[in-house]
Amino acid sequence: YEIWYLPAYSPDLNKIEHWWFVLKNWMKQRWEEFDNCRDCVDAAFKNCPNVCP
């Protein structure tokens, strides 16, 4: 086995980085619609299939 260490932020190599980027942008655009951070995060994850390609 061989372990490859990826750079901390490398969206081309680490697909989760792109997912977080899209999710954070979705939350930034809709922040005003929610009463608190928890509700915004919950909505983001519930809408995840629509948010993240």
pLDDT, tens digit only, all 53 positions of the chain: 898 877 766 667 777 777 888 888 988 999 999 999 999 989 988 887 765 55
User: What is the pLDDT at residue 50?
Assistant: 65
Given this model, what pLDDT does residue 46 score? Answer: 87
Q: Is residue 2 part of a domain?
A: no
- The domain containing residue 36 runs over which residues? 15-51
What was the pLDDT predicted at 3?
87
pLDDT, residue 17, reads 77
Q: Tell me how far apart the alpha carbons of residues 15 and 52 are, in angstroms, rounded to a whole number.
A: 11
- pLDDT at position 53, please? 56
| Structural domain contains residue 33 | yes
How many domains in the chain?
A: 1
Residue 45 lies in a domain: yes
**Confidence (pTM):** 0.60
Burial letters 31-46, b for 16+ CB under 10 A, else e: eeeeeeeeebeebbee
Is 1 within the bounds of a domain? Answer: no
**The two structure tokens encoding residue 13:** 């190599």
